[in-house]
Chains A and B, each alone.
Chain A
Amino acid sequence: MANGHAKPRHESDVLLEIRNLKVEATVYSPNEKPRDVTIVDGVSLALKRGKVLGLIGESGAGKSTIGLSAMGYGRGGVRITGGEVLLNGRDILQGGVKGLRKVRGSEVCYVAQSAAAAFNPAHRLMDQVVEAALLHGLGTRAEAEKRAIALFKKLRLPDAQKIGSRYPHQVSGGQLQRVMTAMALCSEPDLIVFDEPTTALDVTTQIDVLAAIKDAIRDTSVAALYITHDLAVVAQVSDEIMVLQDGKMVEHGETRQVIEAPRMDYTKALVSVRSIDHEEKNPAQEPLLSVRNITAAYGGDAVKVLQHVSVDIHPGQTLAVVGESGSGKSTLARVITGLLPPIAGSITFANRMLAPRLADRSRDDLRELQMIYQMADVAMNPRQTVGTIIGRPLEFYFGMRGKERDARVGELLDEIEMGKGFVHRYPAELSGGQKQRVCIARALAAKPKLIICDEVTSALDPLVADGILKLLLRLQKFEDVAYLFITHDLATVKAIADSIAVMYRGEVVRYGSKTQVLRPPFDAYTDLLLSSVPEMEVGWLESAIKGRRMESAGN
């Protein structure tokens, strides 16, 4: 086994061929008999040597499952029940466990979404990077380590000579993702499966990792399956794209064709997502909410998370607060709601001075300032029905009871495009998008003047998120409510904002109307942020990297 140095190479041009793949899993739901569900049904694909195929789809599309089937692996009890997976001309599903073990880590390697979890915390990085190469007898330890260091350099990791002697927790997320790519490349495989490798990263880090991965793929001429839910990302790295929905193939074609001339409706919807046209409104005379010179800190005054922040929100308009993790954008929301009293500064709301502490605010202040959360599932009490959830603010603020309340709940359900049939449902019986809609209805029930939306679409699939954004815009029109929209996603900002505040390390670095903020010249950070957002355009990555003036922030 140790001498299996030479890997079987075949003359054929096709590296991987998947025919009629069927993947099933057994679902154990309580109080029901276990039943089998089909996760992937009848998917076929062929991948030539050195090419990259992007697998794209929303959650539940089966894209990761297909990627892992190229390694003969089913995650968490998932079974490959039909079809063939031909790698280098052999059906790896027929080779038994031993055969699969020979393929994994030598012919096919895997890069996971969360490198932080995928590395063993107990071992040094280098030991893990060379492990597969040594296991499969692909050179001595010294050779493998040399290769690894060369890869660290190629992937532009700092201190390439020494980074291998660190432990996973001693390295940042973006770096760890690149180390994982080096780990996959270290055994010089024919194919790498990238499973959402940049999804968990901040946008300015993502672009670096993406560029590093792309260069590494090009220079080593390895083939790849690149799995992601983000069409703009996959457009940068892949030669071909396959669009999946509910475990079935929707469309498969060359990247440029899929992006620029999609054939199927579903693909068209995915491509045109975030292309909401939103006309910017002019600021009113008097702002609705005025934040002046807010400085805030957690744990006494030790760590200042907000410094001298001043922004205005105008009635019926949307202020988008953009920033990466750690920029202080969610803290700003906590200060405005009164959950975190600031150390300095003041907030005026509808011509009234807002008390810094939640407990000191009047009921009208609370009513007119509502909040919607990122995770709709935990923002609703799982023991209350939709009717109770939406009805409570009506009782609490307006004293509505009985039929009057129920009628209003029905109206609100209609407004969020769900209908009265949902009144008796529990949150667990709703889809992700429906949950967020109920949260919106709960906020609307209070007849607020301002709603704080904290990353309300970032946990949702693109099409669902699109629906939520459109709903919010529509509601703004006839309820005349203002939004403070917190997000890390610039595409969302462009779709809904009237004015924008860019935050970086607790400070507002750029602030103004949407056109002002998005018009050059930019400050260094805004430039970095704007240039890091993947555009749905082939060749965007190269030009973006070339045009950058500042190193990525969170790295």
Chain B
Amino acid sequence: MFNIRQIPLAAWIGLLLTGLAVICALFAQWIAPHGNGEIVGDVWAPMSSAHWLGTDNLGRDLLSRMIYGARITIFIAGMATALSFSLGAILGFTAAVVGGLVDTLMSGVVDLLMAIPTLIFGLVILAVLPANNVTLILVMGILSSTRVYRLSRAVAADINAMDFVEAAKLRGEGLSWIIFREILPNAMSLLVAELGLRFIFSVLFLSALSYLGLGVQPPDADWGGMVMENKDGIVFGIPAALIPAAAIAGLGISVNLVVDWVLTRTTSFKGGRD
């Protein structure tokens, strides 16, 4: 379908870094030189050959914690993305193709949910719910699914109005052919791009919550939580908190680069010159 050589450099970098993070997440216990909670040295020791990234606020190896942090960050953000995506896309497609009362009702609920800023609503709910990973995944996934719903509904409604879908309906094709063979292939790239953006959003959302002390609870820590643990060092000029923060930014940018590439590929396929 497409040539490996045609992947631009930016997309390569994105794919490479995203891949690296995923590998760290999958094989944390084999890659990490030390245990997650193991105290190995002084508090906030500088970078050295023994501890490449130095140590954290309790004297744990920062590199090892980063690698384990990748696992928690990517796991929770990934689960939340998967939830938001299956929920949002299925309901959005249904609303667009079925239409009528179902559509009006679901869209009304989504509009209402979107009237409250996601972070604020998340905080309000987390004020009463028990702090654990399941809660986090549910809250993030459901809140984030509203945006997926909007997008998939709009995309599906657009495609549903095209002549080739009408042609399929006139041929007598069933609902499943129309959704899976006519609409979905044309919505795929946009949905894949949205998947990437939702993942970035979930990573940022999770990091913000953990940073505020409402996300992943100690002794486990995702990257956002590690920023919180080490933030007091900043005023002494110790940059330990910046390392997990930079990792979040790096992961976000890499996924963004891939998304950007997916999106340009879509437009180039359909568009061409008129």
Contact B264 A381 (CB under 8 A): no
A–B Cβ pairs within 8 angstroms, 10 of them? A29-B272, A30-B267, A31-B3, A31-B268, A361-B172, A367-B172, A373-B167, A378-B163, A379-B167, A381-B185
State how many angstroms separate the Cβ of B32 from the closest Cβ of chain A. Answer: 40
List, in ascending order, chain B residues with CB within 8 A of A393's CB. Answer: 171
State how many angstroms separate the Cβ of B6 from the closest Cβ of chain A. Answer: 5
Partner of B163 from the list A27, A366, A375, A384 (CB cut-off 8 Å) is: A375
Contact B164 A378 (CB under 8 A): yes
List, in ascending order, chain A residues with CB within 8 A of B3's CB. Answer: 31
State how many angstroms separate the Cβ of B218 from the closest Cβ of chain A. Answer: 48
Partner of B170 from the list A337, A381, A428 (CB cut-off 8 Å) is: A337
Which of A31, A381, A382, A442 gathers the greatest number of chain B CB atoms within 10 Å? A381
List, in ascending order, chain A residues with CB within 8 A of B172's CB. Answer: 361, 363, 366-367, 396
> Any chain A CB within 8 A of the CB of B229?
no
Contact B272 A428 (CB under 8 A): yes
User: Of all chain B residues, which has the CB nearest A337?
Assistant: B170
- State in angstroms the CA–CA spacing of A180 and B269 once bound together: 38
> Any chain B CB within 8 A of the CB of A184?
no
List, in ascending order, chain B residues with CB within 8 A of A428's CB. Answer: 269-270, 272
Contact B270 A382 (CB under 8 A): yes
Counting residue pairs across A and B whose Cβ atoms lie within 8 Å, the total is 58
Given contacts A30-B264, A378-B163, 8 further A-B contacts (CB under 8 A): A30-B268, A31-B6, A361-B172, A366-B170, A373-B163, A373-B167, A396-B171, A428-B269
State how many angstroms separate the Cβ of A364 from the closest Cβ of chain B. Answer: 10
- State in angstroms the CA–CA spacing of A338 and B181 once bound together: 23
Contact A27 B171 (CB under 8 A): no
State how many angstroms separate the Cβ of B86 from the closest Cβ of chain A. Answer: 22
List, in ascending order, chain A residues with CB within 8 A of B186's CB. Answer: 381-383
- State in angstroms the CA–CA spacing of A27 and B3 once bound together: 21
> Any chain B CB within 8 A of the CB of A130?
no
Q: Which residues of B contact A (CB under 8 A)?
A: 3, 6, 162-164, 166-167, 169-173, 181-182, 185-186, 264-265, 267-270, 272-273
List, in ascending order, chain B residues with CB within 8 A of A375's CB. Answer: 163
List, in ascending order, chain B residues with CB within 8 A of A358's CB. Answer: 169-170
List, in ascending order, chain B residues with CB within 8 A of A338's CB. Answer: 170
State how many angstroms separate the Cβ of A407 from the closest Cβ of chain B. Answer: 21
> Any chain B CB within 8 A of the CB of A261?
no
Contact A396 B170 (CB under 8 A): no
Give A334-379 interface residues, CB cut-off 8 Å to B: 337-339, 358, 361, 363, 366-367, 370-371, 373, 375, 378-379
Indicate whether A382 sits within 8 Å of B269 (C-beta atoms), given known contacts A371-B167, A375-B163.
yes
Q: Report A28-50 CB contacts with B as 1/0, cut-off 8 Å.
A: 01110000000000000000000
- State in angstroms the CA–CA spacing of A382 and B163 once bound together: 11
> Any chain B CB within 8 A of the CB of A392?
yes
List, in ascending order, chain B residues with CB within 8 A of A339's CB. Answer: 166, 169-170
Contact A381 B171 (CB under 8 A): no
List, in ascending order, chain B residues with CB within 8 A of A396's CB. Answer: 171-173
> Any chain B CB within 8 A of the CB of A533?
no
Give A386-405 interface residues, CB cut-off 8 Å to B: 392-393, 396
List, in ascending order, chain A residues with CB within 8 A of B273's CB. Answer: 27, 29
List, in ascending order, chain B residues with CB within 8 A of A31's CB. Answer: 3, 6, 268
State how many angstroms separate the Cβ of B141 from the closest Cβ of chain A. Answer: 29
Q: 8 tightest CB-CB pairs across the interface, nearest first?
A: A30-B268, A383-B185, A379-B163, A366-B172, A381-B164, A31-B6, A378-B163, A373-B163
Contact A379 B164 (CB under 8 A): yes
State how many angstroms separate the Cβ of B165 from the closest Cβ of chain A. Answer: 8
List, in ascending order, chain A residues with CB within 8 A of B182's CB. Answer: 381
State how many angstroms separate the Cβ of B142 from the closest Cβ of chain A. Answer: 31
User: Of all chain B residues, which has the CB nearest A380?
Assistant: B164
- State in angstroms the CA–CA spacing of A366 and B269 once bound together: 32
- State in angstroms the CA–CA spacing of A78 and B185 once bound together: 35
List, in ascending order, chain B residues with CB within 8 A of A392's CB. Answer: 171
Which of B6, B162, B169, B171 gathers the greatest number of chain A CB atoms within 10 Å? B171
Which of B3, B6, B170, B186 gathers the greatest number of chain A CB atoms within 10 Å? B170
- State in angstroms the CA–CA spacing of A284 and B228 once bound together: 86
List, in ascending order, chain A residues with CB within 8 A of B269's CB. Answer: 382, 428
- State in angstroms the CA–CA spacing of A27 and B268 once bound together: 13
- State in angstroms the CA–CA spacing of A361 and B272 once bound together: 38
List, in ascending order, chain B residues with CB within 8 A of A384's CB. Answer: 185
Give A428-456 interface residues, CB cut-off 8 Å to B: 428, 442, 446
List, in ascending order, chain B residues with CB within 8 A of A370's CB. Answer: 170
List, in ascending order, chain A residues with CB within 8 A of B181's CB. Answer: 381
List, in ascending order, chain B residues with CB within 8 A of A446's CB. Answer: 171
- State in angstroms the CA–CA spacing of A324 and B172 once bound together: 31
List, in ascending order, chain A residues with CB within 8 A of B171's CB. Answer: 366, 392-393, 396, 446
User: Of all chain A residues, which has the CB nearest B267?
Assistant: A30
List, in ascending order, chain B residues with CB within 8 A of A373's CB. Answer: 163, 167
State how many angstroms separate the Cβ of B70 from the closest Cβ of chain A. Answer: 33
List, in ascending order, chain B residues with CB within 8 A of A363's CB. Answer: 172
- State in angstroms the CA–CA spacing of A382 and B162 once bound together: 11
- State in angstroms the CA–CA spacing of A366 and B173 once bound together: 10
Contact B170 A371 (CB under 8 A): yes
User: Of all chain B residues, which has the CB nearest A371?
Assistant: B170
List, in ascending order, chain A residues with CB within 8 A of B264's CB. Answer: 30
- State in angstroms the CA–CA spacing of A380 and B172 once bound together: 16
User: Of all chain A residues, which has the CB nearest B167?
Assistant: A379
User: Of all chain A residues, which has the CB nearest B183?
Assistant: A381
- State in angstroms the CA–CA spacing of A280 and B186 once bound together: 44
